[in-house]
Amino acid sequence: MTKYTNIFFSAMLVCVLVRSAIFAAEKKPLPLEGGYAVVVSQTTATTDGWSDVLKTLREKYDAQVMLHPPGKVEEALSELQEKHPRYVCFLAQPNEVRGDFVVRVHQLTRKLDDDPWTDCIWAILTGYEAADAMRIVKEEPLEIRRVLAGTPMRLECADSGVWFSELKKNEKWTKESGKAPVAVTGPDDTTTAIIAELVEGKAQLFVTSGHATQKDWMIGFSYRNGFFVSQPDGKLAGKDITGKLHTFSSDEPRVHLGVGNCLIGDISDADNCMALGLIHSAGVRQMVGYTVPSWYGYMGWGMLDYFYLQPGRYTAAEAFFANQQALLHRLETAQQMNLSQQDVSGLLYDRDTVVIYGDPAWNARMAEGQNEWTQILTESREGESITYTITLRKTAYDNTDKNGSQRGGRPFFAFLPVRLAQKGTVEILAGADFKPMIADDFVLIPKFAMEEGKEYTITFRGKMRN
């Protein structure tokens, strides 16, 4: 049974549905209406092991299956346009994800209707072997309480955790549950310490930055440190500064965000690849990473702004979607915002090159923690009409985090549980001065300064999509 927090009821509403700041772990597989589709090649759909993954997805979500010829994912477009599912899982074997597959999926998912936004919450489901994908599909909802990072983090947003600096030797911060973060002295070489946190500390969120390739992650950025390296057969190892290898494995379910790493999300060699190694050997059930060298950073570091700094508000896949729409909105309003050519080029560079692996409907989110504002969405229905109100209120917390590039300033963002009819039918009843951008399935409000204790509301009405 679904559990919601921060719920306000109003007797004046015909029907109220609240999508609160926090969703607890829930058994209901699809929190948003609109259905689930699996896009899969004819080859993968009939390959031993992978066909079982497809069957499990279909049964779990009552999913529609959309087949396409090998190498031609675009041929699923017409069926996607007809069904317009809320969630789309691109089930693919590793050799199918190589090359420009990620770019093509990005572009495909913006073509389901004629607006410029992404039209579904999507992810690519793959693994070193079919058993990896099956573990992802069968995973239970995850409430993330412990975080591990190789870069500075606002530990106040987590129940507990630890981070090691990639910039300053021996810098380490820790946080125990119910206590404030404290600085401690870390080791010169953090390779085995990070491995211990993954294996014994059981961190459920793993965040990395710094230099990386498809085959390794350089733990230190401005000082000598060890590496994480991919190994044959989907395995991982730590390589310390003496060159000694420390092989390890963990099946603790976790999310990995390669927020600042180059190339870590690129699957170039299925037998020796960081992305597949993390999924196969490090318990990663969902992963976000660049498939190209990273320099601008909006799509990578922005995952922390939505997923981590707003604890509990979004799943990893929802945060990826929200960050993508924030990027697209920034491009759409580039002239009004007087963005530089470098900013426009950077946004275009990031737009189609960051990937999310896993199940798009997996309910993995941070445990409830400190947040800068409360965000409540209510709806009322009457006939074919539906009215949404989003209410924002600043709290006493400050989650500002300047670590990384292109941080902060992300728009307020709320998913609409029920889709609205196509554009042109929406009427803004209150809050037009905030310039909300209302799509068929979400509302995006440019960030503005809020006064503590003051309430801000945006109300709009439209017709429900048939």
Decide the pairing of beta strands 245-248 and 235-239: antiparallel
Query: Would you state the structure tokens that stand for residue 367, as one six-digit string?
Result: 């445990």
- Supply φ then ψ for residue 300, to 5 degrees: -80, -65
What tens digit of pLDDT does each residue of 207-257 get?
Answer: 999 999 999 999 999 999 999 999 999 999 999 999 999 999 999 999 999
Is 455 part of a structural domain of the chain?
A: yes
249 shares its domain with 324: yes
Q: How many domains does the chain have?
A: 3
336 shares its domain with 400: no
266 shares its domain with 186: yes
323 shares its domain with 258: yes
CA distance 463 to 466: 9
Is 360 part of a structural domain of the chain?
A: yes
> Which of residues 300, 331, 366 is at a domain's end?
366
Q: 24 pLDDT band (50/70/90 cuts)?
A: very low
Burial category of 54 from C-beta neighbours within 10 Å (exposed 0-12, middle 13-18, buried 19 and up): buried
Is 1 part of a structural domain of the chain?
A: no
- pLDDT value at position 33? 86
239 shares its domain with 330: yes
What tens digit of pLDDT does each residue of 396-450 get?
Answer: 999 999 999 999 999 999 999 989 987 667 999 999 999 999 999 999 999 999 9
What tens digit of pLDDT does each residue of 42-92 get?
Answer: 999 999 999 999 999 999 999 999 999 999 999 999 999 999 999 999 999
What pTM, to 2 d.p., does this model score?
0.93
- pLDDT value at position 60? 97
Q: 35 pLDDT band (50/70/90 cuts)?
A: very high
Give CA torsion, residues 64, 1, 304, 121, to 10 deg: 20
Give CA torsion, residues 206, 363, 465, 120, to 10 deg: 30
Query: Would you state the structure tokens that stand for residue 459, as one six-digit string?
Result: 């109300």
pLDDT above 90 (res 11) = no
152 shares its domain with 250: yes
Query: Would you state the structure tokens that stand for residue 129, as one six-digit string?
Result: 């072997």
- pLDDT value at position 7? 32
Domain with residue 454: its CATH number is 2.60.40
Q: Cβ distance 303 to 257 under 8 Å?
A: yes
Q: Percentage of the chain with pLDDT > 70?
A: 93
Q: 453 pLDDT band (50/70/90 cuts)?
A: confident
What tens digit of pLDDT does each residue of 400-412 get?
Answer: 999 999 999 999 9
Burial category of 422 from C-beta neighbours within 10 Å (exposed 0-12, middle 13-18, buried 19 and up): middle
pLDDT above 70 (res 14) = no
322 shares its domain with 213: yes
Q: What is the mean pLDDT of the chain?
A: 93
Domain with residue 196: its CATH number is 3.40.50
- pLDDT value at position 423? 62
Helix, strand, coil percentages, rounded to 5, for the chain: 25, 30, 50
Least confident of 1-15, 150-164, 316-330: 1-15
73 shares its domain with 194: no
> Which of residues 104, 138, 172 is at a domain's end?
138
Q: Which comes out higher in pLDDT, residue 19 or 94? A: 94
Q: 271 pLDDT band (50/70/90 cuts)?
A: confident
Q: 261 pLDDT band (50/70/90 cuts)?
A: very high
**Average pLDDT, integer, range 153-170:** 97
Size (the chain), residues: 466
pLDDT above 70 (res 26) = no
387 shares its domain with 444: yes
Please tell me whether residue 194 adopts helix, strand or coil conformation. Answer: helix
Is 2 part of a structural domain of the chain?
A: no
CA distance 393 to 36: 33
Least confident of 1-5, 109-113, 241-245: 1-5
Is 280 part of a structural domain of the chain?
A: yes
CA distance 148 to 150: 7
- pLDDT value at position 29? 63
342 shares its domain with 203: yes
Is 400 part of a structural domain of the chain?
A: yes
Measured between alpha carbons, how far is residue 430 from residues 6, 388, 411, 425, 457 in Å? 22, 11, 18, 16, 7
What tens digit of pLDDT does each residue of 124-160 get?
Answer: 999 999 999 999 999 999 999 999 999 999 999 999 9
CA distance 136 to 245: 28
Which residue, chain included where needed, has tokens 């609205």?
A: 420
Q: 278 pLDDT band (50/70/90 cuts)?
A: very high
227 has which bridge partners?
Answer: 218, 239
> Which of residues 110, 138, 166 is at a domain's end?
138
CA distance 459 to 230: 50
- pLDDT value at position 107? 98
- pLDDT value at position 424? 65
69 is in which domain, residue-wise? Answer: 36-138
What tens digit of pLDDT does each residue of 279-311 get?
Answer: 999 999 999 999 999 999 999 999 999 999 999
Query: Would you state the structure tokens that stand for residue 324, as one six-digit string?
Result: 């993508």
CA distance 333 to 62: 38
Is 44 part of a structural domain of the chain?
A: yes
Is 345 part of a structural domain of the chain?
A: yes
353 shares its domain with 390: no
44 shares its domain with 147: no
